[in-house]
Chains A and B, each alone.
Chain A
Amino acid sequence: MRLEPIANPTLTRRVLPPALAIATSFAVAAFLAMIAGGNPFQVFGLIISGAVGSKFAVLETLNRATPLIFTGLAISVAFRAKLWNIGAEAQLYMGAVVTVVLGTGALGLPGWAMVPLLAVLAVIAGGILLLIPALLKTRLGVDEVVTTLLFNFIFLLFVSYLLEGPLKDPMGMGWPKSARLVSEARLPRIVDGLRLHWGFGLALIAAVGIWVVDKFTTLGFEMRAVGQNAHAARFAGIPVNPVILKTALLSGGLAALAGFSEVAGLKGSLTLDLSPGYGYTGIVVAMLALLHPLGVVAAALFVAAIFVGADSMSRAAGVPTYLADIMLASALLLTVLAILITKFRVRRD
């Protein structure tokens, strides 16, 4: 038995499998909701209304999607070049650390200068954090999956140390929490009075920017070529290792923006629960988006809606929020399978 690529898949073949994948993941979730003692229709209704049923719900979903767009972009940029960055979580916290170190009074600048400066420095710091495993990969052949994954734990423990030590807020009543950002360092809200900050706008701009880089620049061409066939790319004169390092800087920087925007836009200070695994969920987002930068926006909104909706459903129906994780996990697995089916057919011989 082997897989054979399909030359020109029909429209049905391209659309049907992903649609079936999503439908099946809903069926799985419905079954589990029933086991948990809920009525599946009511549960889905509550998820939908909890995610998009009110102005508050929509804004909450957009806020939740913001860090996922950044980490999803970070992953898709890296994965396209076959740089397996599993360390977006650490890079996110790096961005957050830079923001609180410099944004809590160390710099006295007006807001129009402070916010962009913090963003740029966060990007640089996050990029450098991924540059280390990338250099280990290009110089010594060390597998970046292992190094970036383990970096997450090291860096989170380091952040924990910072929050218990040098960065601990003296007015924090002993909680492991940083001081609050000065107001000049905060990302303003997009519309006064609505709980949506400019981090979301920045995320959309980043998505479009990455799409432009991907499609219209030599760097995008090089990154895709290296990812598809590094050997042929090298033969054609593309400097493979420098391209991998540039990809690392870009990917790490994007993930760091997630941390920056969460601190400067939403939370105002750094705690250890800043990210409920946005760095890892970014992988799900990027895969659902087929690594397409604009698709990342759609996938991040979808994932955020399910999380936000499940939170509110859980309060109303008493079905655990883990249902959201299961839905996402099964949607991801089935989508990957669906992609395989759209691209290949099984041949027996």
Chain B
Amino acid sequence: MIENSTAQHPVLRLSNITKRFGKVMANEAVSLDLVCGEVVALLGENGAGKTTLMNILFGQYAADEGFVEVFGTQLPPGSPRAALDAGVGMVHQHFTLAENLSVWENIVLGTLPLFGRSLAARAAKAKIRALSESFKLAVDPNATVSTLTVGERQRVEILKALYRDAKILILDEPTAVLTPQEADGLFATLREAVGRGLSVVFISHKLHEVMAIADRVVVLRHGKLVAERATADTSREELATVMVGGATKAPEFEARSAGPALLTLDRVSTQATASETPLDRVTLNLHAGQITGLAGVSGNGQATLSDLISGLIAPSQGLMTIAEGEISAWSPRAALAKGIARIPEDRHKTGTIADFDLTENAMLETYNSTFAKRGWINWRAARKHADHLIETYDIRCPGADTRIRLLSGGNMQKLVLGRVLENNPLIILANQPVRGLDIGAVNYVHARLGEARTNGAAILLISEDLDEIMKLSDVVHVMSEGRLSPAFARGSIDAAGLGAWMAGDGFEERADHAS
């Protein structure tokens, strides 16, 4: 009975939402319906526009075009208060709790009346107890938040939304911070909520969770809605392919035979850390004159591999060999001495120093080896070097004394590129080299990498964009949960096959593939 009536009237309707940030389209004509008692998963890579879309729904951003409708009423744009009142509850990835207050105080924050507090407080606690019992959200209302585990804090966030009578729950990457057991508990809660007629939007890029909890999956890519599937009619492999873009394009460069291996990892593992997936017995050969593509869903150990080759971390087990020399004391400086050109993932935070000018940023990796003698800097040579890079790599800027923070992303990346390519490096690590760049800059970076390949460099290209990997790579590896797939030569595997590896299939058969 209920299902019939709600099928016609979605509880939530996003209609043709478009949002631009400067030149970047964060969302482009995205439409989405949510019906009563349904879990919709919003799937997409980092930067695909998931969080922007949810922030528009929750009123934190105003959309440039399109509107949000809750229970048939249009929400005024840019008003979180209106979204809250309409019954939308959001659980952010980073919690918004006051650590020094108790659980119940956090939940009622902003709702208690000025007078008759103790009575209201007692009623509030009773309501919280009832909610936590019926939704299986075990947490003590009197506990101080700072003493809670991460999983318990998330329960408080959900209780907060339920306490305000939310009918629609939005969870932004809720499992990113949870242990598998806590994640199972969360899923039990969500099923309970859905059974009681609530609706859930679940944002994630973890495929197995999406398959486990969602009724329907919506995939965003580059701000556009690219696929909508019932969970029953799709597979992890298909979702992985759609998410990272599976269209096979003609390869950019003609195939070449591989030169000698310049960088070799032999069953290398790294120490577990809090933030990154550690490497698990990774075996990798980077050959001269080849681009080796590394595909995978983000957060599966690509950042760790990049840090390892950059010199920021050292292997805890296994052997790393570079240009036929074993590595002993491994550091960024040692990596530079070995002639490794490193294009970091984050050019703003890692690749450059924002308030240094172009000259200083251009000499950042070579200030002591090339531009100084006995500790004295040769500014004239450094300036000349910067001018040379500006000229050769077509960096658009007012001059070499411009602070780098004033440059566009593309020009900043050109400086990073010029800095590392200028010395004709033998090994190049390119981690997401075109993320956030416009199409002209993308083509430029790709052409330069192709040129370096022709000159005999061994290149490792890490990207979340499968199109980019397919376009440039001679051989492709896939990373999943810190493990590396065997190498696939270009043409020997299609997007669906890579998608299966990304979803974690095939790794059990490691012994068969071991080379």
Contacts and interface: CB of A to CB of B under 8 A. Distances in A.
Contact of A228 (B353, B368, B375): B353
B125 to A, nearest CB: 36
Contacts of B333: 237, 239
A203 B311 CA distance: 42
A7 B406 contact: yes
Interface stretch (B178-186, B343-351, B444-452, B471-479): B343-351
A229 interface: yes
Given A219-B375, A221-B367, A221-B377, A232 B353 contact: yes
A339 to B, nearest CB: 13
B442 interface: no
B354 to A, nearest CB: 7
B377 A232 contact: no
Contact of B349 (A221, A232, A236): A232
A237 B365 CA distance: 6
Interface in A1-56: 5, 7
Interface string B386-401: 0000000000000000
Interface residues of A, number: 19
A237 B344 CA distance: 13
Given A228-B355, A234-B332, A237-B336, A221 B360 contact: yes
A290 interface: no
A177 B372 CA distance: 49
B332 A216 contact: no
A267 interface: no
B57 to A, nearest CB: 18
A211 to B, nearest CB: 14
Contacts of B379: 216
B356 interface: yes
Nearest to A225: B353
B310 interface: yes
A218 B367 contact: yes
A5 B405 CA distance: 9
A228 B405 CA distance: 12
B385 to A, nearest CB: 14
B376 A217 contact: yes
Nearest to B356: A228
A233 B312 CA distance: 11
A135 B441 CA distance: 44
A304 to B, nearest CB: 31
Contacts of A237: 311, 331-333, 335-336, 365
A231 interface: yes
A135 B353 CA distance: 25
A112 interface: no
Contacts of B405: 5
Contacts of B351: 232, 235
B206 interface: no
B31 to A, nearest CB: 26
B365 to A, nearest CB: 5
B352 interface: yes
A229 B351 CA distance: 10
A236 B364 contact: yes
A308 B489 CA distance: 79
26 contacts: A5-B405, A217-B376, A218-B367, A218-B368, A218-B372, A218-B377, A219-B375, A221-B367, A228-B353, A228-B354, A228-B356, A229-B353, A232-B351, A232-B353, A232-B364, A235-B310, A235-B351, A236-B332, A236-B364, A236-B365, A237-B311, A237-B332, A237-B335, A237-B336, A237-B365, A239-B333
Given A225-B356, A235-B312, A237-B311, 14 more contacts: A216-B379, A217-B375, A217-B376, A219-B375, A221-B367, A228-B355, A228-B356, A231-B349, A232-B349, A234-B312, A235-B342, A236-B365, A237-B335, A237-B365
